[in-house]
A = this chain, B = another copy of it.
């Protein structure tokens, strides 16, 4: 009997001899993805063995991994049998929901260099002979004991923190940002930071220890603004209708963040007043709605942001309850449809620093793509729409338990994998992408995207639909011709964006050395499927890398490092924005990008 540690989910349990990592994980409720059911065929259950003895590599695995991956001890969980105590890392793309959320991302190691630092100080009780004000007393202690010159004490700190100085017996912990005291606490307070990536659909929040940089907890939640429209255009018009609306839209985000922070605090034994810094990223529209900036101009040519530079604003000015003097940092926007989340993704992936020709793509309701050609950076924004979130799809649903997330059609028939291995109730974005790719690979779709006759295809409303799952009491789960068209619109927009960037540089797509795929959706798609329908170019698969929520990771980097904030500004400054609607021959190129072929 061996002990197995599954990371980063933190599940640990016993594994008898003869049980594979996949079987062990399932028994311990660690939902590792597997479509083929453990036959070594689907290559979805990829894990990394960190330590401990395991069985030797199988022939199936030789095929599944690149040499580099083999060197990192990457294995298929279904083909790996522990032979002692083992520690395993499960990458996000191999985890099925609900463990998988939009919060997992790159873990990039950086030297903590936070703007806000904590200092333990001891004040001198005043006397009639030396009646120093509490504020002078604190400043003197900071300078004398730590060489820190804090010229400013935030008003909130004077109001909320100073009344406690005597309670603390003149000993306390001070959080200092540059030359400003932003919080006071009892001695040895653990100061925290909040990073958040606010997407059009989802929000990811991280609570970080400001001294070590360690992420103490994370939360994923829905963006409650969805009640005002699924895409940002709808919300722009909603906010533009009047100040109450704009306030409401802002308030929804502030409350959502506050709720997430509340549960993160509960989980980690923290309190809001210990959160001394925050970094928040989002696309330009969300960024503007969060700050309650004017947005109507974002929806009209020439689509300019009100604000593009990075911004520091007091948390209280946004209605956020953090430490009394806490600031919130917003990364810069590049253009009206290329926002701080894109900059954050570029920061986390390190695309700007990579040599050669490389592409980074953040797939979501809106998809932003950046091409770095020997240091020249250009970005486009593509309206990929909400199909990936399951919206406007007949049996579409979000990536939640019971959603069909992976599909394979083979001689053995149709295999579907649902999130959490629950009975299927609908189909999520990655499942839809898989279905359409399988249909195309088996010529049930032609290259124009038209559905052809097949035993599993049946007529529907004058068109056709493909039956994915027959159910006894309920109607079948199907993919209709219209669903295929929705996905086709999205894939055409993305492919057009990639081609436009290459064309602007006079390059062929084949010249791209690496493609970094970020974003909640991008993390979980099958890249082969995306290539099969021509959403992504037909590059060797090893050039693709799925990096999880890179925008969230970028926010954490900026939270922990002033250098990373400056780097984000440099990235925004040097990245040229190309307006897709303005490229020559737009219609022809769009039609070409719609073709459902791997080419």
Please tell me if A301 contacts chain B, counting CB pairs below 8 Å.
yes
Known: A131-B336, A309-B136. A291 touches B158 (CB 8 A): yes
Residue of A153, A297, A301, A314 with most partner-chain B CB within 10 A = A297
| A462 interface residue per 8 A CB criterion | no
Q: Are B291 and A155 in contact (CB under 8 A)?
A: yes
Which residues of the other chain, B, contact A545 by a CB distance below 8 angstroms? none
A133 CA / B336 CA spacing, docked (Å): 8
List which A303-335 residues lie within 8 A (CB) of chain B: 303-309, 311, 313-314, 316-317, 333, 335
Say if the beta carbon of A134 comes within 8 Å of chain B.
Answer: yes
For residue A136, which residues in chain B have a CB less than 8 angstroms away from its CB? 308-309
By size class, the interface of chain A is: 35 or more
Counting chain B CB atoms within 10 Å of each CB, the highest count among A301, A302, A304, A307 belongs to A304
Q: Report A113-131 residues with CB < 8 Å from chain B CB.
A: 126-128, 131
Copies in the complex: 2
Contact A304–B133 (Cβ < 8 Å): yes
- The stretch from A159-167, A261-269, A453-461, A531-539 touching chain B is A159-167
Complex formed: what's the CA distance from A314 to B126 in Å?
Answer: 30
Would A128 and B294 count as touching, CB distance under 8 A?
no
Residues on B with beta carbons closer than 8 Å to the beta carbon of A335: 131
Query: Within 8 Å of chain B (Cβ to Cβ): is A56?
Result: no
* Chain B residues within 8 Å of A302, by CB: 126-128, 131
Cβ–Cβ contact B128 & A301, under 8 A: yes
Asked if A355 CB lies within 8 Å of chain B CBs, one says no
* Any B CB within 8 A of the CB of A292: yes
Known: A128-B579, A579-B128. A317 touches B155 (CB 8 A): yes
| Set of chain B residues within 8 Å of A316, measured between Cβ atoms | 317
A132 at interface, CB cutoff 8 A: yes
A107 to chain B, nearest CB (A): 33
B-side contacts of A307, CB under 8 Å: 133-135, 153, 158
A293 at interface by CB-CB < 8 Å: yes
Q: How far is the CA of A133 from the CA of B572 in the complex (A)?
A: 13
Asked whether, in the complex, the Cβ of A134 is within 8 Å of the Cβ of B291, the reply is: no
**C-alpha gap A128/B335 in the complex (Å):** 11
Q: Is A582 an interface residue (CB 8 A)?
A: yes
Q: How far is the CB of A162 from chain B (nearest CB, A)?
A: 5
Q: What is the bound-complex CA distance between A137 and B302, given in angstroms?
A: 14
Q: Which residues of B contact A166 (CB under 8 A)?
A: 297
**Contact status A134-B301, CB under 8 Å:** no
Chain B, Cβ-Cβ closest to A309 = B135
In the assembled complex, the CB of A237 is this many whole angstroms from the nearest CB of chain B, namely: 15
Q: Contact: A135 with B291, CB < 8 Å? A: no
A67: min CB distance to chain B, Å: 45
Q: Is the CB of A294 within 8 A of B336?
A: no
**Distance from A39 Cβ to chain B, minimum over Cβ atoms (Å):** 53
A128–B292 CB distance below 8 A: no
Among A127, A309, A336, chain B packs the most CB atoms within 10 A around the CB of A309
* Bound form: Cα–Cα A333–B294 in Å: 41
Interface string of A136-171 (1 = CB under 8 A from B): 110000000000000001011011001100100000
Instruction: Give the residues in chain B near A131, CB-CB below 8 Å.
Output: 302-304, 335-336, 577, 579
**1/0 contact trace for A330-366 toward B, CB 8 Å?**
0001011000000000000000000000000000000
Residues of B within 8 A of A314 (CB): 314
Is the beta-carbon distance between A293 and B159 smaller than 8 angstroms?
Answer: yes
Min CB distance A165 to B, Å, is 9
Smallest CB separation, A217 vs chain B (Å): 29
Q: Report the minimal beta-carbon distance from A15 to chain B, rounded to whole angstroms.
A: 55
In the bound complex, do residue A162 and residue B306 qualify as a contact, i.e. CB atoms below 8 Å apart? yes
Contact of A159 among B127, B162, B292 (CB under 8 A): B292
Which chain B residues border A163 with CB–CB below 8 Å?
Answer: 294
Nearest CB in chain B to that of A292: its residue: B159
A134 to B133, CA, bound (A): 44
CA distance A142 to B553 in the complex (A): 36
The reply to whether A293 and B158 contact each other, CB–CB distance below 8 Å, is yes
Task: Contact check, B132 vs A162: say whether CB atoms are below 8 A apart.
Answer: no
Report the bound CA distance from A330 to B242 in whole Å: 36
Complex CA distance for A471 and B453, rounded to whole angstroms:
115
Contacting pair A134 B336 (CB below 8 A): no
Which residues on B sit within 8 Å (CB–CB) of A336? 131
Structural contact, B162 and A304, CB atoms closer than 8 A: no
9 A-B residue pairs with Cβ-Cβ distance under 8 Å, sorted by A, are A128-B303, A128-B582, A131-B304, A133-B304, A134-B307, A135-B305, A135-B306, A155-B313, A158-B306
Q: Which 8 A-B pairs have the closest CB atoms?
A: A133-B308, A133-B305, A163-B294, A131-B302, A128-B302, A135-B307, A126-B304, A131-B304
Give me 4 other A-B pairs in contact (C-beta within 8 A), A133-B304, A133-B333, A135-B309 excluded. A132-B308, A133-B308, A158-B306, A163-B294
